[in-house]
Structure 1
C-alpha cells in the first residue's frame, strides 16, 4: 500500500505542557497530537515537528509532518474537525495537506520567527502568557543591543550546553523591540535557533535595558562564546513561536 506524507499546521498554548517533544514523564504537545492522529486515522502515527519548544512556551504557528499508509483522500480532507475533537482545547489544528514524500518539517524550514512578550503592570489576563517585569527598561538601548546580533553568526553564548548540535551558527535577519498596547514585544527572525537561545538573548537585552551592562558588552558576550557571560533566561511564559517558512509553502496558503 502506498505511503504518503502530510503536513499538519497547528497552534498551542504551552502552559500545561512539558514542551513539544514526547517524554517518558509529563504531558507534551507531540504526544497529544500523535494520539489524536493515530486514533483518527486508525494507524500508529509518530509526527515530527518543525522544532522543539521548551516547557511553557507557546506556538501560534507550528508545523509537523507524518506518514499515512493507504490513506483515504476523503478522510484526510475532512480530518481537521475530527482531529480537533480528539485534542485538548489548548491545541488547535488548522489544516492537513499532502506534501512530497521527502518533505521534512524540521530540515526544510528556511526561517523561523519568535516573539517575546513582557508587561509592566499586573494583569490577570496575561497570566502564563507574558512575563510581568517590575521595573523600568531603556527601550532605545535595548534596540541598539539587538542590532548587534545581526552582525554575528556564532551564538554559543546563548545556547544551552550539551545540546548535541553540529553547529551554533545562526543567521539572524531581524531583531527589534517595540511597545504594543502596554506590552514590550521582542521580535526575532533567523534561519535556525539554538535551544533556549531567544530567552537567553532577551535576558541579556533586559540587562542592557536595566543599565547593568552597556550595549558594547553584548559584543564581548558573543565573542566569549560562554553561556555564563550572557543574561539569565527569561521565563518561558512570554515566548511564542509565531512563523515558520518553507520554500514550497506560500505565506498566504
Structure 2
C-alpha cells in the first residue's frame, strides 16, 4: 500500500474567464481546471484545496493549494508537464513537499491583496484595473485606511450567509500608493471575509470622493451592517498577491 505524499503548489492566474478559484457545479473555476490537468498528469483523482477562495474575475499573482500524490514528484518535470496541460491563463510556479498535516488554508498566517485603479483609458489595462473618471483624494483615503487597523470585526464588509465562525480579522497593512496615472491599494491581514477587500475599496473611494467623511468609516464598521458600507468595486482590479506560511 503506497503512502500518500502531500505537496503545496504555487500558482498564478488571470481570473477574467473564471468564476473564481473554488470548484462549482455549473461554472468553470480555476480549481476545476487545475484538478483536471493534475488528474490527467498523475493518473489519479486529484483534489486540491486552496488557501482561500477568490470571486469571479479576481486575479492571483500568488495562490497556494495542497494535494496528495501517490508517488514522489520531481519538481522540474512536474511543473513543465503540468504547465503544458494548463491553459495560457493559469501557470504553476513551484511544487513544495510539506508534512502530511500541512494545510493550505488553515496554516496561512498572512494574506495580501492589491487593488488597481487607473484614470486614463488604456486598452492594456482593460480587465486588469478599474477605470475611474475622477481622481479621488488619496490623503483622505489613507487616513481612513489607517482606521481599519484599529478594528477587528469587519461584518460590515462581508457578504451575508458565508458560514464563517467569526468575522474578526487582524489587518496589518492598509494604504494607497500613487503611481502617476494610477493608484494601488495594498492590504494585508491574517484572513479576509468574502467580498471584504472590494467592499473596503468601494467605501474608501466614497471617502476620497467626499461622498462620506473619514469619521463615517468608524460608524460603518461599528454598525456591523453591510448595507451601511460602500458598494463593492469591480473584480477586475483585485489581485491576491501574497500568502505566507511559517514553514515555507
Q: Is the structural similarity TM-score above 0.5?
A: yes
Q: Does 1:122 align with 2:116?
A: no
User: How far apart, CA to CA, are the structure 1 residues paired with 2:84 and 2:129?
Assistant: 28
Residue ranges of structure 1 left out of the alignment (5+ in a row):
none
Name the counterpart of 2:169: 170
The offset of 1:181, in angstroms, is 4.2
Give the Å deviation of 1:77.
Answer: 4.7
1:149 aligned residue: 148
- CA deviation after TM superposition for structure 1 residue 97, in Å: 1.8
Paired position in structure 1 for 2:52: 51
Q: Please name the residue that 1:244 is paired with.
A: 243
**What per-residue deviation string (whole Å, max 9, x for no partner) do you get for residues 52-84 of structure 1?**
000000000000000012x0444x551000000
Aligned to 2:22: 21
Q: Which whole-Å deviations, capped at 9, do the CAs of 1:161-211 have from their partners, x for residues lacking one?
A: 000000000000010001124211000000000000000000000110000
SS of equivalent to 2:163: coil
Q: Which moved more, 1:77-86 or 1:225-234?
A: 77-86
CA distance in 2, matches of 1:12, 1:178: 23
After the TM superposition, which segments of 4 or more aligned residues of structure 1 sit over 6 Å from their partners? Answer: none
Question: Corresponding residue for 1:224?
Answer: 223
Aligned to 2:83: 84
How many Å apart are 1:245 and its aligned residue?
0.3
Structure-1 separation of matches of 2:97 and 2:208: 46
Partner of 2:138: 139
- Identify if the C-alpha distance between structure 1 residues 25 and 79 changes in structure 2 by more than 3 Å, giving closer, same or farther: same
CA distance in 2, matches of 1:181, 1:207: 21
Task: Look up the SS of the partner of 1:126 in the other structure.
Answer: coil
Q: Which residue of 1 aligns with 2:9?
A: 8
Partner of 1:37: 38
What SS does the aligned partner of 1:78 have? helix
| 1:103 and 2:102 are equivalent in the alignment | yes
CA distance in 1, matches of 2:247, 2:91: 23
2:132 and 2:49 map into 1 onto residues whose CA distance is 35
Indicate the residue corresponding to 2:178 in structure 1: 179
How big is the shift at 1:95? 1.3
- Structural RMSD (CA): 0.8
Pair 73,21 (structure 1): closer, same or farther in 2 beyond 3 Å: closer
Distance (whole Å) between structure 2 residues aligned to residue 166 and residue 224 of structure 1: 19
1:67 has 2:59 as partner: no
Counterparts of 1:183 and 1:31, CA distance in 2:
34
- Paired residues in the alignment total 247
Kept in 1: contact 2:112–2:242 (CA 8 A):
yes
